[in-house]
Chains A and B, each alone.
Chain A
Amino acid sequence: MIEIQHLTKQYGDHIAVSDLSISIEAGQIYGFLGPNGAGKSTTMNIITGCLAATTGTVTIDGYDIFEQPNEAKRRIGYLPEQPPVYLDMTPLEYLRFVGEAKGLRGAELSKSVATAMELTQITGMKDRLIKHLSKGYRQRVGIAQAILGAPQVIILDEPTVGLDPLQIIEIRDLIRSLGREHTVILSSHILSEVAAVCDHIMIISHGKLVAADTAENLTRLMAGSNTLRMTIRGEEDTVRAALEAIEIPEPVPDTDASEEQIQLDLDVAKDPSFELSMRPSEDEGCIDATIVTGPELDLREAAWAAVAKANLPVLHLSLDRASLEEVFLELTADQPETTELPQKTYLYGDANRDFKAVNQAIPDAPASNESMEGGTGDAGSV
């Protein structure tokens, strides 16, 4: 759908985007993730033709954005960082203007405008001046403008910035529903947002693409370790004896995983070691036990079985996985821009195991909490 090849944008001496190549498939939701100033907005501005690239090409559905801008732009709806609304117009007038500019006429125009307003739930506000609307509604008017005329590609630059939590949930639902029929690209510096909405995550740092994969794969392939935390009532010696007798389960090959992934699982199975540490708990007569294992090993059930066998009551049991945040922090860590270090790039299927080592070196990296009581591996927010 969209092909970005060797895209570079230079402002004087500052390189905003550096040799970026991305291929975007139709009918998926993509998330550009990166810290502020990573080059997300610049990239989006170039894709939509608002900005010219220094070098490189962008083609949309086969049309070059620089050579055949009108054909390419007809296929794109764009919401820039700041909703580009005219404050002295009403949403209805505004959307009719955008529709006309996109080449819609007559009944088709009215129908498209009505659909866009319905999807973004601004029909009730259509006759108020935009300057009297709240930030959330202005944002929705901006999104309505982008989806007007059902373009094949919808590009949203930080669509939920400045919205209240309820509005954020509504906008995310809207984006998900758009993703069924359109290709959606959104940018964000908020991880949980991208993880919640996108099929694919592209992490951009210093104008370079440092990772591109699904949220699940990114977490799995780059996570450092799993930490199982338990609080058990009993004497330290009995607890230790019970836990050391944990039977490590056979890994179940994941049918979705790549061959390399399965190999990785087997590697872990060959070396099923774990680290056990214990200290007295705050609860009287209890022991806090921590078991650190490789990223592929989930010992929750095995640990419970082992402790149950020894007839020791379990008060608490939870598993901390290395989260997407950790991956994000690692990949976007500030590096001097001039160093000649081999560039760390992780793309689809390219399981670069070096990350594991580096990842573990980060002390106190935040981790999501996946506990037995609930929680289904939802990555927390930054």
Chain B
Amino acid sequence: MLAVYKRELRACFTSPIAWLFLAFLTVMLGILTRVNCFVGGRPEFEQVLASMLFLIVTILAICLLTMRAVSEERRQKTDQLLYSLPLRTGKIVAGKYLAMLTVLAIACAIFSVYPLILGQYGTVNYAGSYTGIFGYFCLGAALMAMGIFASSLTENQVVAAIIAMALMFVSFLMSSLASYIPATGFASLCVLWAAAIGLGLVIWALTRSSKFALLVGALLVVLVGALYFFNATLFEGLIQTILTRCSVFDRFYLMIMGTLDWTTVFFDLSITVLFLFFTVQSMEKRRWS
């Protein structure tokens, strides 16, 4: 794993990609800090991190950094080398992920200087600021896992970046989109049914086993329907709750509010592990196709 980590980190820094990533984020955060804190006269650095513009920039930067992680190996056929080496796929993915995470950690280390600079000109809540930076790191860690997963789906970097952006933006906008869905129980039921059918389709697309896909889809539809029949009140506003709870961004806002929320850390960690697991499966699948 160490060998893959070292190679990946070297690849990030010998190509301009990691430098661009760091420069892009640092400069954007610098501009936003100037506008918000110096011109706007607000000392809350963490609010800059959570500003919509900076989060969009973060999504783009992480997509750019992670898009080549696995897809490039496939395009250059170096994945065959990785498969033939005595390394488990899990360790390959972990090595790659940790290299990307190191780049993010460097970015966060640079961000840590900002509150100190602000502190020269006024009173800064350091605890809040650094909790915000820590929350940002956790958010970035989860997004990177999504990016690497997207990269493992295709050998085209651009396609990988687009898939990653779609995943991240859906996550970003999830809770605001949820507010457009009626809060009635029936609406929740319909959405859950659609999700069950969607899951069935995804299973079918991945396994080509129509029997299994149909079974899973039908089972979920029946289960959800039965639950609604017995306890309809449970479904009121359920979708909104689920989507808000499942959005890595909504969780991040909790950290920005000044709470060092360990459930958020645990949640981001779970999302990371989940998507890295998907990445391993996606790479293993190629061996079987």
Contact = CB atoms under 8 A, between A and B. Distances in A.
A70 B86 contact: yes
Interface string B82-95: 01111110000000
A86 B84 contact: no
Interface stretch (B2-10, B218-226, B229-237): B2-10
Contacts of B289: 11
Contacts of B27: none
A363 interface: no
A323 to B, nearest CB: 34
Contacts of A71: 86
A320 interface: no
A71 B87 CA distance: 10
Contacts of B11: 86, 88-89
B34 interface: no
Contacts of B87: 70, 101
Contacts of B14: 88-89
Contacts of A85: 76, 78
Interface in A347-381: none
B89 to A, nearest CB: 10
Contacts of B80: 45, 50, 78, 80, 82, 84
Interface in A35-91: 45, 48-52, 69-71, 73-74, 76, 78, 80, 82, 84-89
B207 to A, nearest CB: 14
Contact of A50 (B10, B15, B76, B287): B287
A363 to B, nearest CB: 42
A88 B11 CA distance: 7
Interface residues of B, number: 24
B39 interface: no
A97 B7 contact: yes
Contacts of A45: 80
Contact of B15 (A51, A73, A88, A103): A88
A74 B86 contact: yes
B88 to A, nearest CB: 7
Interface in B1-41: 2-4, 6-7, 10-11, 14-15
Nearest to A72: B86
A48 B80 CA distance: 9
A318 B84 CA distance: 49
A76 B85 CA distance: 8
A70 B78 contact: no
B113 interface: no
Nearest to A77: B84
B245 interface: no
Given A51-B287, A100-B2, A87 B76 contact: yes
Contact of B3 (A11, A76, A101): A101
A52 B287 contact: yes
A69 B84 CA distance: 9
Given A97-B7, A100-B3, A73 B86 contact: yes
Interface in B245-289: 287-289
Most buried by A among B77, B78, B80: B80
Interface in A202-253: none
Contacts of A82: 77, 80
A145 B15 contact: no
Nearest to B285: A52
B138 to A, nearest CB: 30
A176 interface: no
Interface string A87-122: 111000100011011110000000000000000000
Contacts of B4: 101
Contacts of A78: 80-81, 84
A205 B7 CA distance: 40
B6 A76 contact: no
A52 B78 contact: no
B2 A69 contact: no
Given A52-B287, A52-B288, A100-B3, A86 B86 contact: no
Nearest to A50: B83
B287 A80 contact: no
Contacts of A51: 287
B83 A102 contact: no
A104 to B, nearest CB: 10
A98 B6 CA distance: 11
B82 to A, nearest CB: 8
Given A52-B288, A86-B7, A88-B15, A98 B85 contact: yes
Nearest to B78: A84
B77 A84 contact: yes
Given A49-B83, A97-B3, A100-B2, A70 B88 contact: yes
A48 B85 CA distance: 9
B76 A101 contact: no
Contacts of B3: 97, 100-101
A342 to B, nearest CB: 33
Most buried by A among B6, B77, B81: B81
Given A84-B80, A84-B81, A88-B14, A103 B86 contact: yes
Interface of B: 2-4, 6-7, 10-11, 14-15, 76-81, 83-88, 287-289
5 smallest CB-CB distances across A and B, nearest first, come from: A84-B81, A100-B3, A73-B86, A50-B83, A101-B3
15 contacts: A48-B83, A50-B287, A52-B288, A69-B88, A70-B87, A70-B88, A84-B80, A86-B76, A89-B7, A89-B10, A100-B3, A101-B3, A101-B87, A102-B86, A103-B86
